[in-house]
A and B are shown apart, each in its own frame.
Chain A
Amino acid sequence: MNADAEWLDVACGAFLLAAVGVVWRRDAAASSRLLAVQGAALAAIAVVLGADRHHPELYAVAAGVGLLRAVVLPGILRRAVTASTEDRETRPLMNVGASLLATAGLVLLAYVAATPMVRLENTPAARALPVGLAVVLIGMLVLVTRRKALSQVTGFLLLDNGITAIAFLAAAGVPLLVEFGVSFDLLLAVLVLRVLTTRLRASFGSADLDDLRELHD
């Protein structure tokens, strides 16, 4: 195993650990910090892959991804958290212990499901592919089990980080232009959700999505 492969392992490990941390901590401020760590790990994956496959283009992608996902998006989330008084995730639909066990199951599922892909091409990047898949699944889990709008944004960002990681690991990234477009979409989505959350809170006093099930006058 060469040095590049080991760095890739470490970056992927940090990437997955940050996702696990989001499930573990119910604190929204801690989630935004973990998302920043995850964004940095994603940028690191891109850098390692760029060095490994001699794609200088990947460095530019890594810089963009790092800036957006490690600085800008967690920054927006953090500002939203500090703006609100209810900054803790009070009532997730599943308790933390059960969600952690579910996470363990999802990670194993991702590993099992990705076995054919790993067998297809036995490179370090392909072996790390299940990590991206696992983060997508964990993002889904966070998305469906959290009640607060802000935590759902966290789940959405996890999901997208996972998809981007799969793109990097499976195909050494998508073309720069497409990556740029996706990142811009993501930024817009988060900004819109942020504005929506603020409006929700202004009109209803909370951003609990369970309150949105019935129509009111």
Chain B
Amino acid sequence: MNELDITARTMTVSVVQVLVVLLGSPLLVGLMRFVRARMEGRVGAGVLQPWRDTVKLLRKHRLDPEGTGPAFRTAPVLGVAVGAVAAGAIPLMATGTAFGTGADMIAVIGLLALASAALALAGLDTATAFGGMGASREMTIAALAEPTILMAVFALSARVGSTNLPAIVAAGAAGASRLASPASLLAAVALAVVVLAECGRLPVDNPATHLELTMVHEAMVLEYSGPDLALVELGAAMRLTVLLGLWSSLFVPFGIATGTGLGVLLLGLLVFAAKTAVLGCVLAAGEVFMAKLRLFRVPELLAGSFLLGVLAVAASFFLD
């Protein structure tokens, strides 16, 4: 296979990943809500419900609250765009994505932080009490989550000698036994806690309520309606899918395509979809048994996961 062919294949991988995440993330959210409803003894809306909501919202006409500026208008689009770029860069179904060395872990995390900062600005832009409150809480959580992500990344990249995501995932897929090492287990737990915090899931934030005392994400997006709300919801769903996919690629990289053959890529796609669905179901099932943490206890949780990240770095630095 010549150079051009390989480039075409990696382009295909990225495009397919973006499309799958774009179309599949509402389904993942629908599946999680369905699992949760069933475990709580409710019938629950179907898996397709988020898509139906999206289509309904997209048909409505736009409505900007009075006095809002560009920050409010750009945040929804930026959220979806960031989700799409991250979905194209992160090796979800195959290790070779079109971004090459640009698919750096720190860059990807910076992108995701950009989306949450944009949403926080939009929350402030509405100048309502809830928007500001949600933005301040979101930024508090993000500021505490960021060091943990970096620590977990360093624990993984110390082994590979690079922060390039495809390189890390490819190394993990090649030597699967190293994944059972203490460093990698600690990093997995640390990153899992941070993924929960970044996606606004329990126990950090409850995505199912609009209770004014506790909400974080919902408080920021309270003023959105119509197509903008649809985009915000889609962006949040894509963020969840991308982060779950990133976690599974880093710590359970089985079945991810390392070659560029068509069959391998298809298998990689199926395995990615299956892994993300299973993770989503586990998350939804776990949330049934969990209560939301008090906001002032969230720093404790994140400090704990930061400590696990530090231990992971220490273990990978001193033990290897």
Contacts and interface: CB of A to CB of B under 8 A. Distances in A.
Interface residues of A, number: 24
Contacts of B308: 20
A111 B318 contact: yes
Nearest to A7: B180
Nearest to A9: B182
Contacts of B181: 6, 9
Contacts of A100: 300, 303-304, 306-307
A97 B300 contact: yes
B175 to A, nearest CB: 11
Interface stretch (B226-234, B245-253, B309-317): B309-317
A118 B318 CA distance: 10
Interface stretch (A49-57, A69-77, A102-110): A102-110
A100 B301 CA distance: 10
Given A9-B319, A96-B300, A104 B306 contact: yes
B24 interface: no
Contacts of A13: 182, 185-186, 315
Contacts of A115: 318
Q: Give the interface centre of A16, A17, A95, A100 by most chain B CB atoms within 10 Å.
A: A100
Given A10-B180, A100-B304, A101-B303, A107 B186 contact: no
Contacts of A97: 299-300, 303
Interface in B282-320: 299-300, 303-304, 306-308, 310-311, 314-315, 318-319
13 contacts: A9-B182, A13-B182, A13-B185, A100-B303, A100-B306, A101-B303, A101-B307, A104-B307, A107-B310, A108-B310, A108-B314, A111-B314, A115-B318
Interface of A: 6, 9-10, 12-13, 16-17, 20, 24, 95-97, 100-101, 103-104, 107-108, 111, 115, 118, 127-128, 130
Given A17-B186, A104-B311, 15 more contacts: A6-B180, A9-B181, A10-B182, A13-B186, A13-B315, A16-B311, A20-B311, A24-B300, A24-B304, A97-B300, A100-B306, A104-B310, A107-B310, A107-B314, A127-B319
